[in-house]
Amino acid sequence: MKIMNISALKKQSAASLKELKEYAEHYCRHEFNILGSGWKKVFYGMNVDGFEGKNYAPEFSYEKLLKEIPENLINEHKKLMGFAKKIRKNYIPIDWQIDFKSGFRFNAGVHHTQLKYGVIEGVDAKVSADLGRGYQFVVLAKAYRATGEKKYRNECIAQLLDWIASNPYEHGAGWRACMNVSIRAANLVAAVDILGLDDEKELLDLIRNSFIQHGKFIMENLEYPQNNFHPNHFIANLAGLLMIAAYIKDWHKEAVTWYDFALKTLSGEILNQSLPDGANYEGATSYHGLVMEMLIISIVFAAVADAAKKPAAVRGWLEKNIGKKEAARLKDMFGVLRHITQPDGKIPLIGDNDSGRFVLLEGGACVPARDWRFLLVLGSVLYEDGSLYPENFCDSQTARLLLDVKSNSKHGAQYPLSKAYKDVGYYIMRNKKDYMLINCGPVGTDGKGGHAHNDKLAFTLMLDGLDIFVDPGIYTYTASQYFRNSYRSVKAHNALCLGGEEQNRWGLANPWWGVLEESKCECLKWKTSDAKDIFAGSHHAYERLENGATHQRTIEWKKSANEITVLDELLNAKGKLPASELGFMLHNDCVITLYSEKEIHLCRENVEVKMISDNGCWKTEPAFLSLEYGTKVYSQRLVLKLEGSVMRNHINIQF
């Protein structure tokens, strides 16, 4: 069964083909670059660098792995590995259980329900999880189809068999968290579809059994969103299940039930997990992109598998099979993504970001984690709507693989205008290559705040296509509670901190996820024009303090004057207020050129910025940025220290 348009892989630029081959060569050498690790060769007994001084790498070997495999499965393991080594001579097995940043190994013989995470400082379960998602299978399959070189095909099959052999059903890190299983299911389907194995019965039978295991596991371990801090996991479950079911339902009867369930339930989640304005209800920009990718790739794949090839036919299939309201909401999601995309093609970081992707159909490998323009091109082609097409972007392999279109290049796309998405609380000011996003919305996930940070009334600023004030991102989730909370803190964002207190207190139900909904943001004014944009908003988090107040922020952008004014007020004060501070996280390429009590000058390349304050005293503090999960670079944080008597402060920003 062939679903995707494989001929599209032969119609890519020389630069794209070169990148594809470079990544495929890394994977042939069993080198992986996962979540900031850098390229590392992964094998049994490997040495690791450690995570923040923590190194748990044990003395280990392939022979020790054999003792972990359940005794009743050891013969199957040896059979599969023998097949892998026959296909790929001198094949060296991959250690799929290792967090190759900290060195900690999970046990391939332990049932997935017994595996724990967030227990040992420095151990990041996401590393072994991402290794086991099988992203590289698709890259190797694409490299084979693009070049015709069989070594990429053979390596892809050998790694696939290695994974099946060394990850017994329901055991080990590869089966921890159904979301990871679901994403792997989607990548398995995409890789096998691209490879084309219809004439290789023995091999196909082995892989088909794994398809069935994945579908069965997903159905039995669904991560329902009602009591979950990560409702996007449920969408991943349904998306992976839909792709597997669409691919195998012609020969596996149970998959018909999976297909009907996945399609019907996924349709409901489109509305359940998005707001009326189209934004994802978790309130984190990166998860808006990930959820969109999971939804649109899986649903379009199912449509194409059902013989809907052209964009118009796919749109008709969507309205018929997921509903008109749901199909319209999907398009609204594209609109949100188009408007939050910065002039440099990346999205700003609001809330958590785990640099996750669904299926690597785009580019040589994983395009930068904050660059979702390939989805915008897919949306523009699918809906035949040029307003969705991003500026400064040539083509999308994803669109050509999934849809029957010859080319989707569109030059001369226009920068969007200023726009508010009030349900989620994104207020976007624009002036061509200048961009600001202000966050004034709920904590998300129906008040659970699973992926929320204390960034209310904070803003990011890009000038002439260069980041100036940024959100720090997230360095790690459960590998370190210290770093987790440091990056979530109000002091890590471009916001006001009163009395050293957090805006919203951390949730009590889980040490890693969730904040209380105490800020209760309100937009008080939003007005845009060609000449000037004005925003005013408030939050109520600090009203809980004994000597607290309401924080109100007003931002006015005079576009022709290249001037932004930021007015911060503490209103309805309860007694004498404590000291406060205003923080501004600088991009690590920004340089401070003048420093005085009330005035700061800084520059980045050709952009020069002056900041003048009415009150207080400017200070600088060391800071770290993690613009992609798992990376950490040194930067600086500008801090304006204000005494408790200062209840109103005005900062003028000139550039």
Question: What is the total count of domains within the chain?
Answer: 3
Instruction: In whole angstroms, give the CA distance from residue 256 to residue 83.
Output: 31
Res. 394: pLDDT tops 80: no
What's the pLDDT tens digit per position in 381-391?
999 999 999 98
Which of 113, 148, 176 is the C-terminal boundary of a domain?
A: 176
Instruction: Give 71-112 pLDDT, tens digit per residue.
Output: 999 999 999 999 999 999 999 999 999 999 999 999 999 999
429 and 401 fall within a common domain:
no
Distance of CA 270 to the CA centre of its chain: 18
Taking residues 157-176, what's their average pLDDT?
Answer: 96
Query: In this structure, are 47 and 118 located in the same domain?
Result: yes
Q: Where are the alpha helices (DSSP H) in 196-284?
A: 201-220, 232-248, 254-272
Strand-strand pairing, 617-625 and 633-642: antiparallel
pLDDT in tens, 248-307: 999 999 999 999 999 999 999 999 999 999 999 999 999 999 999 999 999 999 999 999
Coil vs helix vs strand at 533: strand
The pLDDT of residue 366: 54
d(CA 89, CA 155): 10
Q: Are residues 325 and 439 in the same domain?
A: no
Question: Are residues 82 and 56 located together in one domain of the fold?
Answer: yes
CB 101 within 8 A of CB 37: yes
| Secondary structure (3-state) at 623 | strand
Distance of CA 205 to the CA centre of its chain: 34
Could you tell me the two tokens for 385? 């709507």
Residue 170's domain comprises 1-176
- Interhelix angle 178-195/135-147, rounded to 10 degrees, is 10
Does residue 286 share a domain with residue 254?
A: yes
In a domain, 355, yes or no: no
Whether 37 and 90 map to the same domain: the answer is yes
Q: Distance (Å, rounded) from C-alpha 585 to C-alpha 567?
A: 18
Position 504 pLDDT exceeds 80? yes
Can you tell me whether residue 126 is helix, strand or coil?
A: helix
User: In this structure, are 402 and 433 located in the same domain?
Assistant: no
Report, as an integer, the average pLDDT of 607-629. Answer: 97
The answer to whether the pTM exceeds 0.85 is: yes
Instruction: Categorize the per-residue pLDDT at 412 as very low, low, confident or very high, splitting at 50, 70 and 90.
Output: low
* CA-to-CA separations, 80 to 61, 173, 199, 210, in angstroms, rounded: 18, 19, 19, 12
Residue 368: predicted pLDDT: 75
| Domain identity same for 516 and 595 | yes
Q: Where are the beta strands (DSSP E) in 376-444?
A: 419-421, 426-431, 434-439
Give the domain-ending residue among 176, 198, 225: 176
- Per-residue pLDDT band for 367 (boundaries 50, 70, 90) equals low
Same domain, 395 and 509: no
Q: Based on the fold, state whether residues 311 and 376 are members of the same structural domain.
A: yes
Burial category of 14 from C-beta neighbours within 10 Å (exposed 0-12, middle 13-18, buried 19 and up): exposed
The three-state secondary structure class of 376 is helix
d(C-alpha 144, C-alpha 199), whole Å: 17
With tokens 């319209």, the residue in question is 328
- Residue 310 belongs to a domain: yes
Write out the two tokens for 503.
């805006």
How many other C-beta atoms lie within 10 A of the C-beta of residue 207?
Answer: 19
- Please compute, for residue 117, the number of CA atoms within 13 A of its CA located in the half-sphere on the CB side: 22
Considering the domain boundaries, does residue 446 fall inside one? Answer: yes
Same domain, 437 and 381: no
Facing residues of 567 across strands? 554, 650
Q: Is residue 352 part of a domain?
A: no
> Which pairing describes strands 580-585 and 599-604: parallel, antiparallel, or unpaired?
unpaired
Residues 407 and 485 in one domain: no
Asked if the structure places residue 186 within a domain, the reply is: no
